[in-house]
Structure 1
């Protein structure tokens, strides 16, 4: 997770993989041991929370109990930080199948994310809470996710609200980020975590700091280093560079 102190962003959550691939010019771990190695490097660089996307052998996102267990167990064997996983439509488009698989998770992640903008998100969230796992309720700009969350009976029970700014333009993403928390209202009193994507990923960190919100950055959000030209070779490198840029953290 990330946090803010006096308007300074503390970026702390990282995802070892995400939807990117080698074609994007980054090293994306696809098997559990590689995910665990990437997670360990990111934690050494300053991350204190891991959000992993379990994968099938062919590299597709998965919510199958077997794939989730393999990824979570491998990471927990290497690092002592909370490990989360997504339950989104990217991994399983059919809401009924997705719910059935989540209900059969034998190895529970510390937290799991649901997308309030996605059809059928309510049922996996309720199932996860019944199982004893924490829930992140993700929303994104340009959808009705904020409005859905504001009236959601389970809203007060979630851990936090990751709010994704989908404006990819560096010139406008910061302004877009200011409007997203406004749409959330008091967010049922839950912490809000801002993140952007591509060219908007780093600009979003500035309003997060000024608004006193948590923030996140990872290779899934952007593979680019602050100069906009070089690609980060790993999550660890991206976390370390962003920490230096925004907090003065000089750890190697």
Structure 2
């Protein structure tokens, strides 16, 4: 079985020494994760001072560095918190010179649909990030449902998120769009197990969790990929 690796997220190196601070470190972490069995990557490009970024130069540098080391799809965030060089996310995406293969769009954010349009215009696959049933209902009612390559069911850092995950899955499954289900923090490993049981994809990486399923500290993303694969995690494609 294979899965997606979320390499860095918005974490700081003080949280874990394996968190990538530079494009080179991100590329190295990505290469190790792919060698361990990941077949898809999600990364957060950053500014020189460590802020998440949608700015064209940062996206080009980080995505380009990763692609020099691996030959798998590479995606990025479009989160509203990410620095855009004092422009909107839509304008930032229009400026991108190096295009990721896919990008996540948080459906609870006000600019979700314009961001989808910007990505679609550039030929970048849309991954719709749904956190709640309300998000799912808005996405289902949107014309962008027909242009979504992957639905991300994203469960909060709380215990006992399995019921909420099943409810989200049952809402979006009739759409026929492929699903990737993942947790964060305390929900990570239970949701990976649920994704395996339900036959949908999952992801793992230092963005989501810093420990293994038994609370043990892990060395890096590759270690997390190995642990997830041994639990039967699936590929998102």
Q: Do they fold alike, i.e. is TM over 0.5?
A: yes
Deviation of residue 144 (structure 1)?
Answer: 2.1
- Look up the match of 1:233: 219
Alignment of 1:106-121 (within 5 A): 106-121=97-112
Can you give the 5+ residue segments of structure 2 that lack an aligned partner in the other structure? none
Aligned pairs, number = 233
Alignment of 1:128 onto 2:119: yes
- Look up the match of 1:247: 232
Deviation of residue 199 (structure 1)?
Answer: 1.0
Q: List 4+ stretches of structure 1 deviating above 3 A.
A: 92-96
SS of 2:19's equivalent in the other structure is coil
**Aligned counterpart in structure 1 of residue 42 of structure 2, from 37, 44, 51:** 51
TM-score using structure 1 length: 0.87
**Aligned counterpart in structure 1 of residue 56 of structure 2, from 50, 65, 81:** 65
**Aligned counterpart in structure 1 of residue 164 of structure 2, from 162, 176, 185:** 176
The Cα offsets for residues 72-105 of structure 1, whole Å up to 9 and x where unpaired, read as: 1111111000011111112048996111111111
Contact 1:95 1:119 in 2 (8 A): no
- Look up the match of 2:128: 137
Paired with 2:84 and 2:31, the residues of 1 have a C-alpha distance of 31
Can you give the 5+ residue segments of structure 1 that lack an aligned partner in the other structure? 1-9
TM-score using structure 2 length: 0.92
Paired with 1:13 and 1:86, the residues of 2 have a C-alpha distance of 14
Paired with 2:70 and 2:2, the residues of 1 have a C-alpha distance of 18
Paired with 1:150 and 1:96, the residues of 2 have a C-alpha distance of 29
Paired with 2:201 and 2:225, the residues of 1 have a C-alpha distance of 15
Deviation of residue 178 (structure 1)?
Answer: 1.3
Structure 1 residues 115 and 33 mapped into 2: Cα distance closer, same or farther (>3 Å)? same
Structure 1 residues 96 and 64 mapped into 2: Cα distance closer, same or farther (>3 Å)? closer
